[in-house]
A and B are shown apart, each in its own frame.
Chain A
């Protein structure tokens, strides 16, 4: 049995991807691309001190995209048997006969292809170095720190420790072949606090890293989770009013995501974005500079090449409020008569979309405390609910909870309120950006203040 297991994992996936591209070309494709993903995951959840779930597994999948002239089609499979791969190729070739001719379709030019060199520090095998019991212990310690922090923390959705590693391979018929491995580990806690009248609140905190040694201590994570939860107790509604709104770093990333959706080449060439056609125009406040950088060593959004085999790069999206660049892949760049920015993202199936590298808003100089200190009456948002942004019109309306700012201080929790405006004005009304930029994922933002929004309540 063991020998059989070993044999199966030893298939050289790089060779396999190249071989499939060659076979697709032999079967009549005019261009082809193959992607292979392999990964494994471990996760454990400890609730009220007891292990609740343990999950451990691995899987892999393969996808091909073939071109029949300017017609494209794609197929994928989790079956790596000879027959399975043959069937996948055959249906891709068949499928490419029924799609439309699209003069803009195709893989990148040969000379565009490549990968940034050097160790990008994306993989550390220490994420799996802890023995099973200690992984559980990480989760347990994190939850315990939250439960012990305050007597009002009376329940919990648990503490967890997760680890994963993954490998991605891309090959195409211009001879490109590339691969990279990434690792990930995280620790988190979701405590529940309760008041004497029975009303409950929950919140969370987490730390994520590519190496175990960069993970925050479970105790620190649990403590912050508890602080974030307890401060929500006794939330009230507020009167409907126009007030300054401050977004904490976690929720501020959602605003950055709306900018991303707005500069996403797919939406831009279709005119489905309110930022389409605005290159070179002032779209945000003077101090707003937004950067996408897929090359930062160790970054959560770092890869040596994008989903089409283009080297990743640093792109200034907004500089001092002026829209400098869209985020593009090969197809959307051709549609807009621009150059790709190396932002192609590739799943197993379908045409490449647009993805992000490490994407962030440049920090300012004030501390969050100073920034809040300048507000007499306002809302500090710690959570948004729902996804109420319309990228075509910019209309924006979301549920929110957080803390009310009174006389420059975070005074009391508020909930069951809405925040509404229009993104076009919101970007221009970013009146303050704090200095607290920190990456807890591939999108990061400092604390920021927006004026002119309507907070809806009673």
Chain B
């Protein structure tokens, strides 16, 4: 990879300039300074009532400057990439430190990074007519699925993010990060009932992804199937019960229950329910959970994180034992641990912090059918909306959007959406069976932390949790569920 690419070409930046900005950032001392240049172009299209009602394109560019001094962070940014503005921002960020000026290391070493999403033509540069075709096809397919599908909205969005990260330690990393996704949402109606369905997917892929296996029709049928199914959904049960999670997106359980709690900043500050549990049992021995930023084409993957560090596969829980945290530069330095390449940020306006990439549980040895058969009274949850966690108390929720009753080992009636609630540090200790069918989500996850949104992935095999609280509206009677 040639190191004088995007920003050097578009903004006439030179290495000399970068050294000058870093020197200004360290003009009041400080341990470390870095610059994050970002140029983001994006497109989005929406179809509603079978009309392309919205089409929008935009460009956002800027530079964020960070200065670290002990545990302190000074931060400033500018959306004007002229030298005067960048220097002004660098001097503002510098104010966090108060000491004699430091000199950045001379010269830069380019980070050797993977090439996880080598698209030749980024979708953001592809013909808009092809994208219009995608949303119109989704609309048609969703309506054709069933006459009870009355409302369809489909959207397509893509972006290309060019970044350059340089640090006072000689860090020099560039990346060009494509991201694309489609979403379809439907409403099914009968005279007496309405229900909704949603589906979507994508990744760090080019437009051809949506002309391959994951076509608009694929997402449209899935959204319509869910809406039609929900028309007949019964009330969900309430209270503690056995819960079987289907493979794929239900991995949001891991993201909420353990992922956030294992971000290094919370553990450095001892504010996480997982603080001090390294080496301890936090899950049944059937559970091995990893965070992996190196999966080709995946939504949560990155060649380098937003601090210029290569991403990696990090084992969080191995056979039930807590092994490690997800770290950025600052926490790694302060905790004396390795930087795991999880320093991420929403944009140049934001301070990086430890974040997940693709978080999933490895396959076990149980057959999914056996897992279902082992449950007398419980629920089988296969699709979820979002989730949330309080990392301090450990309590987390995630909301099932497609779930069924399990009665005497058989999957029976579909039930209405319900929130599931549990306690992060012990929910995985109640995992008694793990399927051999690990699946990753379709590529629609966005994670929020401290007001910053970043794309992530999740995955899980079929898993049985012996006890989890389900927030339905139907009370259990001793023999099963009341209807």
Contact = CB atoms under 8 A, between A and B. Distances in A.
Interface of A: 1, 4-5, 8, 47, 50-57, 59-61, 63, 72-80, 84, 87-88, 91-92, 95-96, 98-102, 105, 132, 155, 157, 192, 199-202, 232, 235, 237, 240, 242, 270-272, 274, 348-351, 383, 385-388, 390, 392-393, 395, 397-399, 401, 415-422, 454, 456-458
B240 interface: yes
B417 interface: yes
Interface in B234-264: 236, 238-240
A390 B61 contact: no
Interface in B49-85: 49-62, 71-80, 82, 84-85
B208 interface: no
Given A4-B84, A388-B471, A420-B418, A240 B151 contact: no
B148 interface: no
15 contacts: A51-B96, A53-B351, A55-B74, A56-B92, A74-B56, A98-B55, A232-B393, A271-B151, A349-B44, A350-B56, A393-B416, A398-B419, A416-B422, A420-B473, A454-B474
B246 to A, nearest CB: 19
Interface stretch (B102-110, B115-123, B265-273, B456-464): B265-273
Nearest to A415: B395
A456 B239 contact: yes
The 6 closest A-B pairs by CB, nearest first: A418-B471, A399-B397, A100-B51, A386-B397, A76-B58, A456-B238
A457 B422 contact: no
Contacts of A192: 271, 392
A399 B53 CA distance: 36
B386 interface: yes
Contacts of B153: 270
A78 B79 CA distance: 7
Contacts of A242: 475
A458 B239 contact: yes
Contact of B471 (A47, A50, A235, A419): A419
Contacts, number: 272
Given A57-B78, A59-B77, A392-B187, A79 B419 contact: no
A102 B88 CA distance: 47
A5 B196 CA distance: 52
Given A387-B385, A417-B469, A397 B418 contact: yes
A155 B351 contact: no
Given A5-B88, A98-B55, A401-B395, 10 more contacts: A59-B77, A76-B58, A98-B132, A102-B53, A270-B187, A386-B387, A397-B418, A418-B418, A458-B239, A458-B240
A316 to B, nearest CB: 27
Report whether over half of chain B's contact residues are helix, strand or loop; otherwise say mixed. Answer: strand
A157 B271 contact: yes
A331 B472 CA distance: 37
Most B Cβ at <10 Å: residue of A60, A77, A272, A386 = A386
A249 B161 CA distance: 41
B58 A75 contact: yes
A53 B75 contact: yes
Contact of B196 (A92, A132, A348, A392): A392
Contact of A392 (B95, B195, B349): B195
B470 A202 contact: no
B469 to A, nearest CB: 6
Given A52-B71, A385-B388, A272 B79 contact: no
Contacts of A232: 393
Given A59-B62, A240-B239, A390 B187 contact: no
A458 B422 CA distance: 11
Contact of B395 (A102, A390, A399): A399
Interface in B444-477: 469-476
Contacts of A53: 72-75, 351
A1 B84 contact: yes
Contacts of B95: 54, 132
B52 A454 contact: no
A96 B62 CA distance: 27
Contacts of B129: 98
